[in-house]
Amino acid sequence: MSTTTTGPISQRAPSSEGRVSRLPGERYEFFRVIQGYLDEAARLVNVPEHVKLILSQPKNELIVHFPVRMDSGEFRLFKGYRIQHSNLLGPFKGGMRYHEEASLDDFKALAAMMTWKSSLMNLPFGGAKGGIKFDPRAVSRDELQRITRRFFHALGSNVGPDFDIPAPDVGTNAQTMAWALDTYINTVGMVKKEDAMGVVTGKPVSSGGTFGREQATGQGLVHCINEWARRSRFKLEGKKLVVQGFGNVGSNTAVLLAAEGVSLVAVGDHTGYLYNPEGFNVHRLKQYVAQNGSIAGYANGQKIAREEFFGVAADIFVPAALENQVGPLEAEALQVRLVAEGANGPCSPEGEAVLARRGIDVLPDVLANAGGVTVSYYEWVQNRRSEQWAIEEVQERLEKAMLDAYDRMAQFARTHECSNRVACYGVALQRLAQVYVDREIFP
């Protein structure tokens, strides 16, 4: 496969394996990028200097090393992270990522983004992120289970239903959360197991999960796209979609948009990129990926290079893989009206500047993929009350939450004449700053 990628066109160079990677010594400083948006928003909002100072670093940065017995009988030492950025508004909250390129800098950035997301969505949560630096596809299912259990055992009471609540992210899923829950229940010495249910969200429905969580991020994104289309007088039916990343977020978004008559014409994942001008059958493709682990080998599409993928003529581009995928060259190549960010941080600031110059609208991650944490909150509430809500109730609440937040973003952007992204940070910062003003700083 010649198209495996880790970064935008401008930051890649061929390696000996025909893969592409960042230039030696060139590192995308994700946390600095996220802090840059905060600085921009702070210039628009009247925030005391000490509030900016407090929010400029995570509250806690936890790194654990733990041994795991592999199937061969040998032991391997893994490095796990949990970065707890803020718990001002409620317990720390955020996903767990298993990825071979994950770094402390990435987790700090992603944890901070969770703080802004929870605040923008008016949720009683703070922000956190964590995970393990390894390739989950390169280990067996049994090894994956032991790695997850040892990781959560090592975290111990640094997570908990009233303190820090993990959820799935890249490389993890409902099964990972079921193992995490079980490990937590069996290690913290709970008298009542029900009290521990809310330690993680995104669980299988049979293990205390909520209806609607699996597709929640895609559903929230589709609500945002619909609202953008309504406000822009843009008819979605008959339009074309390009999606990078066909995991939880990408596949659910494509399936939900297909129901509105939007056809997927190009798709990519860690194995490469496919094009089908007639439109993919997204249900079949999703099923294929569930069985085979990637889009590689899917028959009804023509292989294209990453560079060609970004130039496919369409209407909407949904990045739903990793951060820093749309740099200036990708932004110049894109032939769409809208970039709706399913992934966290997919556009670099330089890429976004090009999109702005070209008049391509952006629905920023902090709002656009917040459906996941919002339904995670519903799951947590159900766990606390020992309830199970009907899917209709979850969906109704989610739609209202997304549209309300969209409105807060749009109003801020109008009033302060700023981008949608800075508006999201501005709204979030206002809420956090008010709490610091009310409570002041301990002692």
Q: Which residues bind ligand NAD (CB under 6 A)?
A: 5-6, 168-171, 217, 244-250, 268-270, 294, 320-322, 342-344, 369, 372
- For tokens 């008016």, what's the residue? 122
Q: Where are the alpha helices (DSSP H) in 174-264?
A: 174-187, 216-232, 248-258
Query: Shortest approach of ligand NAD to residue 22 CB, angstroms?
Result: 11
Q: Give 318-346 as a DSSP string.
A: EE-S-SS-B-HHHHHH-B-SEEE--SSS-
3-state secondary structure of 162: coil
Of the pair 38, 343, the CB lying nearest ligand NAD is at 343
Instruction: Show the CA angle centred on residue 83, arms to residues 408 and 351, nearest 5°.
Output: 55
239 as an active site residue: the answer is no
Q: Which amino acid is at 190?
A: M
Of the pair 161, 168, the CB lying nearest ligand NAD is at 168
Question: Which residue is catalytic, options 129, 133, 203, 239?
Answer: 129
Contact 124, 162 (CB under 8 A): no
Of the pair 250, 351, the CB lying nearest ligand NAD is at 250
Of the pair 187, 271, the CB lying nearest ligand NAD is at 271
Of residues 314, 232, 307, the one with CA closest to residue 280:
314
Query: Shortest approach of ligand NAD to residue 438 CB, angstroms?
Result: 29
Query: Shortest approach of ligand NAD to residue 377 CB, angstroms?
Result: 12
Query: Shortest approach of ligand NAD to residue 372 CB, angstroms?
Result: 3
Tell me the CB-side half-sphere exposure of residue 56, using CA atoms within 13 A. Answer: 12
Query: Shortest approach of ligand NAD to residue 50 CB, angstroms?
Result: 30
Q: Which residue is nearest to ligand NAD (CB)?
A: 247
Of the pair 9, 42, the CB lying nearest ligand NAD is at 9
Written as six digits, the tokens of 128 are 């956190």
Task: Kindly provide the b/e burial profile for residues 175-213, where b requires at least 16 CB atoms within 10 angstroms of the residue's own CB.
Answer: bbbbbbbbbbbeeeebeeeebbbbbbbbbeeeebbbbbb
Known catalytic residues are 129
